[in-house]
Structure 1
Amino acid sequence: MKTAAVYVGAAIAEIAGCFAFWGWLRLGKPVWWLLPGLLSLVGFAYLLTFVETDAAGRAYATYGGIYIVASLFWLWAIESMRPDRWDVAGASLCLIGAAVILWGPRG
């Protein structure tokens, strides 16, 4: 359960940090948006160090699936655009892949 919470927290932090840059460059938001964006990205990187796995690359690969799902939630909740069936199907495949990477039997 701790790993899931870390991944969700990291995804929120990364998406919020990246959105701050998006807002500044693409939406005309003020430059001060960059400061909380940078802090959020630092928090994202810090949180991923708490994933319970023996290899950073495996933690990052698994995180990719979580990030995709969180991005689609952001699309819906923050940008008011409902994910379509292809978004949901693709995210489901990514979550399955993430689960195989994280919990697959290792010999």
Structure 2
Amino acid sequence: MKTYVTFAAAALAEIAGCFAFWAWLRHDKSWVWLIPGLLALAVFAYLLTLAETDAAGRSYAAYGGVYIFAAVAWLWAVEGQRPDRWDILGVAICLVGSAIMIFAPRSA
């Protein structure tokens, strides 16, 4: 469960950092938005190193499912666009895939 908490925090930091760049480039916000954006992206990268997995690639792949969930939550909470049933189905499929990767028994 600690891995999912770490992934959730990383996803929030990554989305916030990327959104700062999006706001700067797509919504004509000040370049000052890049400062917290870069800091958030650095926090994101650090948080991914805390995941309790033995392989970076597996950690990043499993994180993808949590990121997709967080991105759809951001869509709704920040951008005001309610996810449709296809968004929800896609998120569910990704979270199942993520759980399989994280919790699957592995031989030593």
**TM-score (ref. length: structure 1):** 0.98
Which residue of structure 2 lines up, in the alignment, with residue 90 of structure 1? 90
* Uncovered stretches (5+) of structure 1, i.e. residues with no partner: none
CA deviation map 1:19-68 (0-9, x unaligned) = 00000000111000001000000000000111001101111000000000
* Uncovered stretches (5+) of structure 2, i.e. residues with no partner: none
Quick one: distance in 2 between partners of 1:22 and 1:102? 31
Which residue of structure 2 lines up, in the alignment, with residue 28 of structure 1? 28
Quick one: distance in 2 between partners of 1:90 and 1:6? 22
Quick one: distance in 1 between partners of 2:47 and 2:25? 26
Which residue of structure 2 lines up, in the alignment, with residue 71 of structure 1? 71
Give aligned-pair identity as a percent.
61
Q: Over aligned residues, Cα RMSD in angstroms? A: 0.6
CA deviation map 1:60-102 (0-9, x unaligned) = 0000000000000000000000000000000100000001111
Look up the SS of the partner of 2:50 in the other structure: coil
Look up the SS of the partner of 2:95 in the other structure: helix
User: Could you tell me which amino acid in structure 2 is paired with residue 89 of structure 1?
Assistant: L
Q: Paired residues, what number?
A: 107
Quick one: distance in 2 between partners of 1:69 and 1:10? 12
Quick one: distance in 1 between partners of 2:63 and 2:11? 8
What pairs with 1:30-49 in structure 2 (closer than 5 Å)? 30-49=30-49
**TM-score (ref. length: structure 2):** 0.97
Look up the SS of the partner of 1:96 in the other structure: helix
Quick one: distance in 2 between partners of 1:36 and 1:65? 25
Whether 2:14 is the aligned partner of 1:4: answer no
Offset of residue 3 of structure 1: 1.2
Whether 2:84 is the aligned partner of 1:58: answer no
